[in-house]
């Protein structure tokens, strides 16, 4: 008997009808002879609705109380899904994150998992029950309820699969696998039969929303067999594994984009040792992640440099820079936020020269200026103006021979199986 962890996102359990279809899917998995542990997100837009309501009461609500509030969404999902499974005549039990044994840091809003003690989960499996676990949440050592940040249900599922030594972790979503790019933009996107952890991690970090980066990291570290599938059909999904077979003639596996980008430039800084350490040390202390960093030439002993942060961190980053101006004098700080980061990813790029040049040529033909560039062995990222994003993604997808004749299936009603 194989043990499966099945994770269903908010769109999959968005209403009672979808909840019933998910319950049926789980029962079918059990009928195939498998033990099932299911991780679910809050229904539909529940989390966003709770955040909006909280901000009507307090535009800067305390982080602790936000965690108390937002974890209720998943608790509703697990109870209702368990009820739906019981309606099929099966035994199911729901657990919150802390009941399932998730111990986390005491960092509200974006806690990391410290340990998992899945005793109650394993006991329920021994009793032949289907186990339903709330994603996105845990408890700190001092007994405070915490959340894992957006996308945390993916991390919950993969971490739990590793802890209970599951045979596979299936992530169910509204597309039936990992595609070469966003299928909402490119309808002829290519579904990948398999993809390496490293490629998937790059795509996730660069904006591909199908999997959360921390979940991929956890899967890679613990060698969890990870499968992305659709909750709306029974098509074969995408296997994420250590090394994937590269399709002949395809060097770039995927194209990702990230709209959550702001560029900050510090102008007229003294070109002396320790400046960058002070600036980025202060940003790190404020828990602001910095992505691409570019320094321009030096003139009259002064330098300019730019870096990117998440759009949501833009104002905080500027405040940090203003706070260190006496320590690191500069002429001015400028910001730009109507930007997008477009990236190509592929393990085959390391042995194929000219891949980056081809990307630059595509952008040039579209009349697009490149503001910043970042590269690694398996990816090239360009920060550009956001206006022509869809044209860029489509043109790159065609240029790297990723177009297919098939039309992508996104969402929709399940078949009648």
User: Tokens 């936020």 sit at which residue?
Assistant: 337
Q: Is the pLDDT of residue 245 over 80?
A: no
Q: Is the pLDDT of residue 248 over 70?
A: no
- pLDDT value at position 246? 61
Residue pair 259/340 in contact (Cβ under 8 Å)? The answer is: yes
Q: For residues 46 and 59, what is the distance between their CA atoms, to the nearest angstrom?
A: 19
- pLDDT value at position 417? 32
Q: What is the pLDDT of residues 117-175, one digit of tens each?
A: 999 999 999 999 999 999 999 999 999 999 998 779 999 999 999 999 999 999 998 88
Q: Is the pLDDT of residue 416 over 50?
A: no
> Residue 379: enclosing H or E segment and its boundaries?
strand 379-385
Q: Is the pLDDT of residue 69 over 50?
A: yes
Q: What is the pLDDT of residues 372-386, one digit of tens each?
A: 999 988 999 999 999
| pLDDT above 90: percentage of residues in the chain | 76
Q: Is the pLDDT of residue 266 over 60?
A: yes
Q: Is the pLDDT of residue 37 over 50?
A: yes
Q: What is the dihedral of CA 283, 285, 289, 293, to 10 degrees?
A: 40
By mean pLDDT, which of 20-24, 165-169, 232-236, 362-366 is the weakest? 232-236
247 Cβ contact list (under 8 Å, min separation 6): none
Please give the sequence-ordered ranges of beta strands (E in DSSP) within 178-301, or none if there are none.
194-196, 226-230, 238-241, 254-258, 262-270, 290-299
Q: What share of the chain is helix, strand, coil (3-state, %, to 5)?
A: 35, 25, 40
Q: What is the mean pLDDT of residues 263-280?
A: 93
By mean pLDDT, which of 6-10, 62-66, 211-215 is the weakest? 211-215
Residue pair 97/71 in contact (Cβ under 8 Å)? The answer is: yes
Sign of the torsion formed by the C-alpha atoms of 108, 199, 364 and 367: negative
Query: Using 50, 70 and 90 to split pLDDT, how confident is the model at 350?
Result: confident
Q: What is the DSSP string of 137-172?
A: EEEETTS-EEE--TTHHHHHHHHHHHHTT-SEEEEE
Tokens of 89: 């005549």
Tokens of 14: 């968005």
Average pLDDT, the chain: 91
DSSP assignment, residue 136? S
Q: For residues 180 and 257, what is the distance between their CA atoms, to the nearest angstrom?
A: 12
Q: What is the dihedral of CA 407, 413, 414, 416, to 10 degrees?
A: -110
C-alpha distances in angstroms, 91 versus 68, 77, 121, 125? 29, 17, 14, 10
Q: Is the pLDDT of residue 61 over 90?
A: yes
Q: What is the pLDDT of residues 280-307, one digit of tens each?
A: 999 999 989 999 999 887 888 899 999 9
Q: What is the mean pLDDT of residues 10-25?
A: 94
367 Cβ contact list (under 8 Å, min separation 6): none
Angle CA(148)–CA(70)–CA(112) in degrees, nearest 5?
Answer: 10
Q: Please, where are the H alpha helices in 32-99?
A: 46-57, 63-87
Q: Is the pLDDT of residue 249 over 80?
A: no
- pLDDT value at position 130? 98
Backbone angles phi and psi of 388, in degrees to 5: -110, 30
Maximum distance among all Cα pairs of the chain, rounded to whole angstroms: 79
pTM attached to this predicted model:
0.84
C-alpha distances in angstroms, 85 versus 1, 28, 131? 20, 11, 10
Q: What is the pLDDT of residues 193-243, one digit of tens each?
A: 999 999 999 998 888 878 888 899 999 999 999 999 998 888 899 999 987
Selection from 168, 258, 152, 274 nearest residue 205 by Cα:
258
Q: What is the pLDDT of residues 89-122, one digit of tens each?
A: 999 999 999 999 999 999 999 899 999 999 999 9
Q: For residues 100 and 115, what is the distance between their CA atoms, to the nearest angstrom?
A: 11
C-alpha distances in angstroms, 300 versus 264, 271, 297, 303, 328? 22, 9, 10, 8, 17
Q: For residues 221 and 205, what is the distance between their CA atoms, to the nearest angstrom?
A: 16
User: Strand, helix or coil at 223?
Assistant: coil
Selection from 336, 314, 345 nearest residue 385 by Cα:
336
| pLDDT above 70: percentage of residues in the chain | 96
């Amino acid at each position: 008997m194989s043990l499966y962890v099945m994770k269903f996102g908010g769109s999959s359990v968005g209403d009672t009808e979808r909840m019933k279809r998910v319950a049926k899917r789980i029962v079918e998995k059990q009928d195939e002879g498998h033990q099932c542990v299911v991780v679910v997100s809050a229904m539909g837009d529940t989390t966003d609705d709770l955040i909006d309501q909280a901000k009507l009461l307090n535009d800067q609500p305390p982080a602790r109380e936000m965690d108390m509030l937002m974890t209720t969404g998943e608790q509703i999902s697990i109870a209702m899904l368990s009820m739906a499974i019981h309606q099929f005549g099966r035994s199911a039990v729901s657990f919150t994150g802390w009941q399932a044994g998730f111990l986390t840091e005491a960092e509200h809003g974006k806690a990391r998992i410290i340990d998992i003690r899945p005793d109650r989960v394993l006991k329920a499996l021994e009793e032949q029950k289907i186990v339903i676990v709330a994603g996105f949440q845990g408890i700190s050592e001092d007994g405070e309820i915490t959340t894992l940040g957006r996308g945390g249900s993916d991390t919950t599922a993969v971490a739990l699969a590793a802890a209970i030594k599951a045979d596979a972790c299936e992530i169910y979503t509204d597309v039936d696998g990992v595609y070469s790019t966003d299928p909402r933009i490119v309808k002829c996107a290519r579904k990948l039969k398999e993809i390496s952890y490293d490629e998937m991690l790059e795509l996730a970090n660069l904006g591909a929303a199908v999997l959360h980066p921390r979940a991929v990291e956890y899967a890679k570290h613990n060698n969890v067999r990870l499968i992305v599938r659709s909750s709306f059909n029974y098509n074969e999904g995408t296997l994420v594994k250590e090394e994937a077979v590269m399709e002949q003639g395809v060097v770039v596996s995927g194209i990702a984009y990230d709209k959550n980008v702001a560029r900050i430039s510090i102008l007229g800084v003294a070109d002396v040792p320790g400046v960058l350490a002070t600036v980025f040390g202060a940003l790190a202390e404020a828990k602001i992640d910095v992505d691409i960093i570019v320094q321009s030439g030096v003139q009259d002993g002064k330098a300019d440099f730019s870096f990117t942060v998440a759009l949501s961190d833009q104002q905080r980053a500027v405040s940090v820079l203003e706070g260190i101006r006496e320590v690191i004098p500069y002429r001015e700080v400028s910001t730009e936020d109507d930007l997008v980061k477009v990236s190509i990813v592929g393990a085959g790029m390391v042995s194929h020269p000219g891949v980056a040049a081809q990307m630059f040529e595509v952008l040039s033909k579209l009349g697009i200026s490149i503001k910043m560039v970042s590269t690694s062995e398996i990816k090239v990222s360009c920060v550009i103006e956001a206006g022509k994003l869809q044209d860029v993604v489509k043109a790159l997808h065609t240029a790297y021979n990723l177009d297919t004749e098939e039309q992508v299936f996104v969402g929709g009603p399940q078949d009648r199986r």
